[in-house]
Amino acid sequence: MSRGSPVVSPVYAVVDLELTNRCNARCTFCPRDVVDENRGYMTEEVYDRALECMAEAHIGSLVYSGFGEALLHKRFFRFADRAARKGLALSLNTNGALLTGQMIAELAASPIGHVNVNVNGYTRETYEMNMPGLKFDRLLDNLKEVLATDGRPVLSVQSLLHDEDYNRRFREFYLDLGVDYIQFFRRNNRSGNLDVECSRQVPFSERFCRTLIFIANDGRIFPCSHDVRRRTCLGTVTDTPLQSIEKVEHDLCRNCDICSMDEFATMRHMS
C-alpha cells in the first residue's frame, strides 16, 4: 500500500488459491474423487485477475492449496514472483514429491515463505498405504535436501491426528529430521461431503475459516476449499469483488465439523 493510502480493514486475511486440481497422488483420506468436474490448471488471465481482486480487498496472505498439487503448475514460480510483487505473503501446501534438485533451488530463490508438506506416515508402510502414488524414500530425500538448502522457507509437515502413540512417534521422527514444526488435523467430514461421522461442531463464529476464502483453479470463488462438490459458488474473480462477499454460514457449513481456531492452534507443536 502506498504511503498516505486509506487503511481499509481486510474482510479476509487469507486467500486459499488452487492453481490446479490435478494431483500426482491418490491419498486415501482425500475427497478429490468426489469432484466430478474437469481437472485443469489456472490460466495466467485468471491468476492475474485473482491477484487484482486480492489487492482490491487488501488481503495480505496467499496460500497455494486446494485439491491438487500446486507444483505441477508449470508457471508456479513465475506466478509466485508476481504475487510477491503485489506485497502478498506466500505459503505453499504440497505433498513434496516434486521438490527435487532444480525445484528446490527455485524454491529457495522464490518469495515463498512457508512450505507445509502433507505427510501421512512416519514409516514407509503407513505413508505409502495412506498416500498411494508417492514414495517414502523420495519424500525423505526431498525434505533433507530442502532442509540443507540456504535460503529455504520455513518447513512444516502435517498429518491427520491418530492415536497418542502415532502422534508422538510422528512428531519425534520429523523434528529429528529437522523440520521447523508439525501440524496435526483431526479427520473431518470436509463440510459434510465425506462419509465421515460428524465428530464435533463449534459455533460458526468460532471457526478458523471465518478469515479465509477460496479461489478455485477456474476462478470461481467458494467459502472454502472443502466445498469439494462445488455447490456454493459465490461468484468469480471477474465479476465479484472479494470485499463484497460476506462470510456467512452456508448450508455446507451446517454439516461441517472442521475444528475451531483454538483447537487448530493447540495442535501445533513448535520445535
- 68 contacts ligand SF4 (rule: CB under 6 A): yes
Q: Which stretch binds ligand SF4 (CB under 6 A): 9-17, 20-28, 45-53, 167-175?
A: 20-28
Segments in 204-254 forming alpha helices (H): 251-254
CA–CA distances in Å: residue 233 to residues 6, 17, 250? 31, 14, 11
Residue (110 or 193) nearer to ligand SF4, CB? 193
Give me the least distance between CB of 88 and ligand SF4, in Å please: 21
Site string for ligand SF4, 190-219 (x = CB under 6 A): -x---------------x-x----------
**Is residue 42 a contact residue for ligand SF4 (CB under 6 A)?**
no
CB atoms within 10 A of CB 129: 12
Distance, in Å, from the CA atom of 208 to the CA atom of 96, rounded to the nearest integer, reads: 25
Smaller CB separation from ligand SF4, 30 or 112: 30
Considering the complex, what minimum distance in angstroms separates the CB of residue 32 from ligand SF4?
5
Nearer of residues 91 and 191 to ligand SF4, judged by Cβ? 191
CA distance 172 to 152: 22
Give the chain's end-to-end CA distance (angstroms, integer): 34
Q: Which residues pair with 182 in a beta bridge?
A: 157, 269
Give dist(CA 41, CA 19) in Å, integer: 6
Question: Which residues in this chain contact ligand SF4 in the complex, by CB under 6 A?
Answer: 23, 25-27, 30, 32, 67-69, 95, 118, 131, 191, 207, 209, 223-224, 226, 252-253, 256, 258
